[in-house]
Amino acid sequence: MRHNLRGNDYLAFKDMTREEIEFVVDLSLDLKKKWVAREPHEYLRGQVWAALFEKSSTRTRNAFQRAAADLGITSIYLRPDELQSGRGEPLKDTARMFDRYYDGLFIRTFGHEIVEEYAQWMQHPVINGLTSLAHPTQGIADLMTIKEKKRDYPGLKICYAGNLYNVCYTTMIMCASFGMNLTVARPNGMEPEPIILQETMRRAAVSGAKINFTDNFDEALSGADIVYGMSHYSMGQPPEEVEQLKRAFAPYQVNSEAMRKAKPDAIFMHCLPAYRGIDVTDEVMESEQSMVWDQGENRMHSIKGILAAVAL
């Protein structure tokens, strides 16, 4: 079984085995120890990576740039409005030139087909910093946080409360791969992408994970070891759609009352940004149960582990 990802792309958990995901988690945790101890780890000195951000970012961009710097990578930030691709140049032409200039591409964009096309035309690694379908750098950070706070994965119950897109899909495959039970609380009729659901259920059949969807928030919270909050809408959505989603997801706000319905030692996680007063209350964000800051820091270590896995 291939564990080391050297020379390979890193696009989504759905494309990786459980062993490959765990390899990156362990590598990220090891690099975090070196960072805490202030041990130099410039293992990729001399490499130059492009960082293409087509969506605004706080954690992903800063985590990538710090991770790259610690590994000795020079990172070149690319603005999409300054590229010829914004004026109609085919993506495959841009990708092949990037491949000649850089040792890899880190990209945060919209449709998942975009990162897949870059990967198709580039020989050097492509790392997905976020698409509509997957957020695999977040997934590694989440697994790191769960391991640090709960020690092991099998049998844990996660209550996910929020919209069904990239983070939810990554969490679905993550739980199914590692034997964690997941209950997604969402308005009735809202269903995940079929390709993600199919892969999730295939992996759950192997690991024994239980994956459920319900419109009953109390049911999802009952017995939860982890309450995972998520924004109710995504950046760039039309205002009327945002308002509709706010109303639909209002019953699923993570507040103190909701946390009391989970296990007494339950922790709260959120990929951020959190819209306080909408998807989560200020009280929960600032509570002792909140692990969002450790989780957010782990974004840096997870990206460092991913870079090392594909490029070292």
Interval 31-58: pLDDT, tens = 999 999 999 999 999 999 999 999 889 9
Residue 1: what pLDDT?
34
Residue 85: what pLDDT?
78
Interval 140-158: pLDDT, tens = 999 999 999 999 999 999 9
Whether omega for the bond prior to residue 187 falls within 30 degrees of 0, making it cis, is no
Interval 166-180: pLDDT, tens = 999 999 999 999 999
In eight-state DSSP terms, residue 86 is G
**Between residues 209 and 81, which one has the greater pLDDT?**
209
Using CA atoms, how far apart are residues 270 and 109, in angstroms rounded to an integer? Answer: 20
Is residue 8 very low, low, confident or very high in pLDDT (cuts 50, 70, 90)?
Answer: very high
The CA-CA-CA angle for residues 262, 297, 301, to 5°, reads 115
Residue 235: what pLDDT?
67
Using CA atoms, how far apart are residues 168 and 139, in angstroms rounded to an integer? Answer: 10
CA atoms within 13 A on the CB side of 87: 4
Compute CA distances 151 → 102, 144, 225, 255, whole Å: 38, 10, 12, 25
Is residue 122 very low, low, confident or very high in pLDDT (cuts 50, 70, 90)?
Answer: very high
Interval 229-247: pLDDT, tens = 999 987 677 888 889 999 9
Using CA atoms, how far apart are residues 35 and 43, in angstroms rounded to an integer? Answer: 13
Residue 87, pLDDT > 80, answer no
Question: For 68-84, b where at least 16 C-beta lie within 10 A, e where not — what string?
Answer: bebbebebeebeeeeee
Residue 2: what pLDDT?
46
Residue 3: what pLDDT?
58
Mean pLDDT of the chain: 95
Compute CA distances 83 → 59, 79, 119, 129, 277, whole Å: 23, 7, 18, 19, 38
